Amino acid sequence: MFKKILIALDRSDMRQDVFKQGLALAKLTSAKLMLLHVLSPEEEGSPDVLIFPNIDYYPGWSEQSFRLYQQQWEHFQQEGLALLQTFSAQANTENVNTEFTQNSGSPGRMICELARVWQADLIVMGRRGRSGLSEILLGSVSNYVLHHASCSVHIVHLSVDSATQATPETTELLNSLK
């Protein structure tokens, strides 16, 4: 069945559900786990992306601004590593052989590349549920992985409770139906 399961984690509210499902599958099949977090400027909570123009032309951009951005990015990296260490420790207490890595780049590409190199049998990841214009503008990592992965992909969807809480319009509609 599954010997190697890659769990792609981010900072979204779904990360706990994604991890739990991946861990349950690993325990069921005695698979090894690889936990992956991809550092990306598009990720929730990442420091604002700065465009570094010609400093002589734009005197407001200084070395101090760049250093501040670097400090924020380093903090962002440390938070990602702490997330991975926490989940790895949980898996290890459940006697599941677990390792982790944090990479920078395009999340979809990094997930597919690690799955190929590590020879994963399964990728477990979440789906935020973007559609329409937001999916066109921001892209869909899960859609990319589904179409480019070299192995099976298990998508964990946002729970119905979370989805209704996420949109005030839906909550208002449900309340009006009562």
Max Cα-Cα span within the chain: 62
Higher pLDDT, residue 89 or 41: 89
CA 70, 15, 17 angle in degrees (round to 5)?
A: 175
Check whether 171 has a pLDDT greater than 80: no
Across 9-13, 15-19, 47-51, 66-70, the highest mean pLDDT is recorded for: 15-19
The single residue listed with the structure tokens 């390792």 is 99
Higher pLDDT, residue 90 or 42: 90
The predicted pLDDT at position 25 comes to 96
Q: What is the mean pLDDT of residues 85-107?
A: 96
Q: Residue 119 burial (CB < 10 Å; 0-12/13-18/19+)?
A: exposed
| Tens-place pLDDT, residues 42-87 | 777 788 755 555 455 555 566 777 788 888 889 999 999 999 999 9
The predicted pLDDT at position 10 comes to 92
Share of the chain above pLDDT 70, in %: 74
Domain 4-176 listed as CATH 3.40.50.620: yes
Higher pLDDT, residue 158 or 142: 142
Q: pLDDT category, 37, cuts 50, 70, 90? A: very high
DSSP the chain: --SEEEEEE-SSTTHHHHHHHHHHHHHHHT-EEEEEEEE-TTSTTPPPPPP---TTT-TT--HHHHHHHHHHHHHHHHHHHHHHHHHHHHHHHTT--EEEEEEES-HHHHHHHHHHHHT-SEEEEEE----HHHHHHH--HHHHHHHH-SSEEEEEEPPHHHHHHH-HHHHHHHHHT-
List the single range of 5-9, 87-91, 95-99, 172-176 with lowest mean pLDDT.
172-176
| Tens-place pLDDT, residues 100-138 | 999 999 999 999 999 999 999 999 999 865 554 444 444
Query: The whole model's pTM is what?
Result: 0.79
Q: CA–CA separation, 138 vs 148, rounded Å? A: 18
Check whether 162 has a pLDDT greater than 80: no
